[in-house]
């Protein structure tokens, strides 16, 4: 029996981290497909702008402010969806932050904030969503991870650790969620042209736009695939690279990024988290 594939007539789509980047582009894409899309982020003004931009689309945007690091906020968001707007059919957990980590300047807050948003933030959304979908007997959940979760990359000690954890979590939950009629998928993009990637000081091959990312994710959500990954030539290469012995792996990453030749330097620290949504 095929896994459940959500459609607009099944109910509401919910996207966390929808104020910018992939989340914002995907919200517009799903609204264009006819969904009522509940969008969550901390920046109300950006969500209101998104809602206005979608006003002429077949679907609509529902603004539900909230901070994914606050479990109570996410419980309130889900309650609002359930009691004011309808059944939750599709959830895409996308909120994330990226802090470049340099071993010569390790900072506790980079790790704490990364884990709080990228990992615990997904858990805070996942628990009420699963409870709601379990009661309905069906639903679809997609977790946005990254190819950074396949293996260690320069500056990704915090970000990559959270993404690796999300990959393992989605894989592990699939066994039970399948039996509950809840479909879970894993989204592993390569490099997407969002403001956050401007922090990277190494080559980023096969860069795709947020619009292309939204198209790829939308198509993947309609498929029977567990993993939605793109651009495939790059992401499949990353999978193969991570099968190499460590000696070859580190040599190849150093060679392809030029990281070994970069001198240690003082890095300016951002004052606030930057969304990688």
pLDDT in tens, 155-192: 999 999 999 999 999 999 999 999 999 999 999 999 88
pLDDT tens digits along 221-277: 999 999 999 999 999 999 999 999 999 999 999 998 888 877 776 555 443 333 344
Q: pTM of the prediction?
A: 0.91
Residue 6 DSSP class? -
Euclidean distance between CA atoms 168 and 186, whole angstroms: 10
- Residue of 159, 236, 246, 249 marked catalytic: 159
pLDDT of residue 263: 74
Mean pLDDT of the chain: 91
Task: Decide if pLDDT at 52 tops 80.
Answer: yes
pLDDT tens digits along 11-51: 999 999 999 999 999 999 999 999 999 999 999 999 999 99
pLDDT of residue 196: 63
Structure tokens given for 30: 């799903």
pLDDT of residue 201: 55
Q: For residue 90, name the pLDDT band (cuts at 50, 70, 90).
A: very high
Euclidean distance between CA atoms 24 and 246, whole angstroms: 37
Q: At a CB cut-off of 8 Å and minimum separation 6, what does 4 contact?
A: 138, 139, 140, 181, 182, 183
pLDDT of residue 270: 45
Which fold, 8-260?
Rossmann fold (3.40.50)
Q: Which of 236, 6, 242 is nearest to 129 (CA)?
A: 6
Average pLDDT estimate for 110-120: 98
Task: Decide if pLDDT at 200 tops 90.
Answer: no
Q: Is the bond leading into 53 cis (omega within 30 degrees of zero)?
A: no
Q: Which of 101, 75, 74, 80 is nearest to 16 (CA)?
A: 74
Euclidean distance between CA atoms 230 and 219, whole angstroms: 11
83 in catalytic set: no
What is the percentage of the chain residues whose pLDDT exceeds 90?
A: 84
For residue 106, the SS3 value is: coil
Task: Decide if pLDDT at 115 tops 80.
Answer: yes
């Amino acid at each position: 029996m095929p896994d459940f594939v959500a459609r607009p007539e099944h109910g509401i789509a919910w996207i966390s981290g929808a104020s910018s980047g992939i989340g914002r582009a995907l919200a517009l894409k799903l609204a264009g497909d006819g969904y009522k899309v509940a969008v969550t982020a901390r920046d109300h003004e950006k969500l209101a702008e998104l809602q206005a931009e979608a006003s002429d689309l077949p679907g609509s945007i529902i603004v539900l402010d909230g901070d994914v690091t606050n479990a109570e906020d996410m419980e309130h968001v889900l309650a609002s969806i359930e009691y004011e707007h309808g059944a939750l059919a599709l959830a895409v957990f996308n909120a994330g932050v990226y802090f470049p980590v340099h071993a010569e300047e390790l900072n506790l807050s980079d790790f704490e904030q990364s884990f709080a948003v990228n990992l615990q933030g997904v858990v805070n959304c996942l628990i009420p969503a699963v409870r709601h979908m379990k009661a309905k007997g069906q639903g679809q959940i997609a977790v946005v991870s990254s190819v950074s979760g396949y293996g260690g990359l320069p500056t990704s000690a915090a970000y990559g650790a959270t993404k690796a954890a999300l990959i393992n979590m989605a894989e592990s939950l699939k066994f039970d969620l399948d039996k509950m009629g809840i479909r879970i998928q894993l989204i592993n993009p390569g490099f997407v042209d969002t403001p956050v990637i401007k922090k990277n000081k190494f080559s980023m091959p096969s860069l795709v736009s947020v619009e292309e990312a939204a198209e790829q994710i939308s198509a993947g959500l309609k498929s029977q695939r567990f993993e939605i990954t793109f651009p495939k030539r790059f992401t499949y290469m990353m999978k193969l690279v991570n099968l190499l012995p460590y000696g070859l792996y580190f040599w190849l990453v150093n060679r392809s990024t030029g990281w070994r030749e970069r001198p240690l330097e003082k890095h300016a620290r951002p004052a606030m988290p930057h969304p990688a949504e």
